[in-house]
Amino acid sequence: MKHIRNFCIIAHIDHGKSTLADRLLQSTNTVSDREMMDQVLDDMDLEREKGITIKSHAIQINYRSKAGEDYVLNLIDTPGHVDFSYEVSRALAACEGALLLVDATQGIQAQTISNLYLAIDNDLEIIPVINKIDMDGAMIEEVKDQIIDLIGCKPEDILLASGRTGQGVDEILEAIVQRIPPPEGDENAPLQALIFDSVFNSFRGIIVYFRVMNGIIRKGDKIKFVSTGQEYEADEVGILKLKMTEKKEIKAGDVGYIITGIKNAKEVKVGDTITMANNPTPEAIKGFEEVKPMVFAGIYPVNTDDFEELRDCMDKLQLNDASLTFEVETSQALGFGFRCGFLGMLHMEIIQERLEREFNQTVITTVPNVSFLAYTTKGETIVVNNPSEFPDPVKTDRIEEPYIKAQIITKPEYIGNIMTLCLGKRGILVNQNYLTPTRVELVFEMPLTEIVFDFYDKLKSQTRGYASFDYHPLGYRESDIVKMDILLNGDKVDALSALIHRSRAQEFGRKLCEKLKELLPRQQFQIAIQAAIGAKIVARENISALRKDVTAKCYGGDISRKRKLLEKQKEGKKRMRQIGNVEVPQEAFLAVLKLDD
């Protein structure tokens, strides 16, 4: 065990985690030149296209140190985006050390700090690394000072590297061996292993990735999952190279996978403990947090008949992405579907893309919203995840909405833009301090509702991409929230309803009506699009009727003939309007997400 090291790489988005991981694998010959490509650990097409890591990936590296000893290094590459910080927390639970990567051209950013705090909370040994030192704009000395201020290390502890050229990679490998402590654990104790990920394979069933804390797991053992109490036989155990490699046994301190032929996704929970059926461990592993979804939206199949198939796909997707939560719901406009909880808007977009690519499911997503707490006059508390659950305003005493603490790090010249943006989103400035003369940190308390839609995109455009953003939930505060309905010819379209602050309702309603006017196809009759709060209409647009020119055949002659034809047409239109229904195309549901474009 003293020759095992478990470590992960943490950093802000685009600071070069995946590129550095590529170099580590290449310099230790873990991956042959034939198999080598950029972002080798990112195995989803989606990750390659967007250039981001979505999943944590584990791989085992064999390394011979300068002293001539052989080591086994288990590397877990982690995502950088704030929406996937749950993946990072799972990777940290399986490690003893972390490489903290900072881009030499950009310095410390918000996600660097929040991931660092996550690592410190888990008592990990931190190795600071400045990456991209070969770039023209590298500010090595400035970034060194920032790191020393942040974690209080010595200047000589900071490693310099370039993921692109491979410079400094050998020093990083040596530092991992020297500085990160070996795992602690007892091979003779009862088996205790932490599940940190799982994936569905249509031939083998569910493959579970785990880290052994104590004991040994062997092929053919009878094992038990603590939280579900289910028992299985280990058909195959092994380690994670680029492909899975079968082994006879995996000992304490190591990372591996197990296949037991489980087919039902509900039986595997990430964060669960694996132990022996005949000699179970007295206690489960602690320190694994439950995921808290921030944004809720409905996902519906385009064809109602595909509902069961979509349910299976969601189960399989949840295996691979434990931060996705969902429950069944129905809508008058869209039929049966799911109410899903996501960690943020990017997470929601990725889930939608994965459903389409990996499972061929075309889905409609409704307006995203957050969960509110409604207190009734009788003293009951209702959790409102969906506009249709919103209680009658007459019976409601007060409504509370979730607030977050937003931490923004930027250059001083963009402070004005950020202030305008955040105060316009009902934010309260709590703190402002200069990390360095060219780096300022702003802390706001803001309602989560305002961030859900387009805050991140606007922040990037207002600061030319120089602001980094991270947030933490603060709890609930009282607020004046109303339910806004969209009516088409007097009929509510429940999938377009939204919960919104009263001060923003009129503007939002007007924009939404204008957008729907562009997107709804014209009919033979006039369509009235209205935004209403209760019985009060706050905005309205009309789509005029497609009109056939019935008077074309009359030229000359008496006006009464034309009038008669027009009156007849008018009667027909009136009748049509009473019985005609309006089909809402899928683009209309998506348009709500992009109101300010």
Annotated binding-site members for GTP: 14-19, 131-134
For residues 523 and 391, give the distance between their C-alpha atoms in angstroms, rounded to a whole number. 35
- For residue 443, give every residue at least 6 positions away whose Cβ sits within 8 Å of its Cβ, in sequence order, or none: 405, 406, 407, 408, 429, 430, 431, 432
Output the CA torsion sign for 381, 387, 388, 390: positive
Which backbone phi and psi does 583 adopt, to 5 degrees?
A: -85, 130
List C-alpha distances in Å: 201 to 84, 261, 358, 361. Answer: 23, 10, 12, 18
> Residue 265, CB half-sphere, CA atoms under 13 Å: how many?
18
Which residue in the block uniquely carries the two structure tokens 């009359």? 554
To 5 degrees, how large is the angle CA 203–CA 209–CA 212? 140
Q: Are strands 536-543 and 527-533 parallel, antiparallel or unpaired?
A: antiparallel
> What are 276's strand-pairing partners?
223
* DSSP per-residue letters across 531-579: EEETTEEEEEEEEPPP---TTTT--SS-HHHHHHHHHHHHHHHHHHHHH
Please report the beta strands in 411-480, taking only residues with DSSP state E, as ranges in sequence order.
428-436, 439-447, 468-479
- What 8-state DSSP symbol labels residue 379? S
For residues 266 and 263, give the distance between their C-alpha atoms in angstroms, rounded to a whole number. 9
Closest alpha carbon to 568 in 589, 554, 586? 554
Closest alpha carbon to 3 in 236, 214, 252, 202? 252
For residues 501 and 496, give the distance between their C-alpha atoms in angstroms, rounded to a whole number. 16
Output the CA torsion sign for 386, 388, 393, 397: negative
Show binding-site residues.
14-19, 131-134
Cβ-contact 544, 525 below 8 angstroms: no
Cβ-contact 363, 301 below 8 angstroms: yes
For residues 141 and 372, give the distance between their C-alpha atoms in angstroms, rounded to a whole number. 47
- What 8-state DSSP symbol labels residue 63? E
Closest alpha carbon to 196 in 55, 315, 333, 72? 55
SS3 314: helix
To 5 degrees, how large is the angle CA 338–CA 342–CA 348? 85
For residues 351 and 263, give the distance between their C-alpha atoms in angstroms, rounded to a whole number. 22
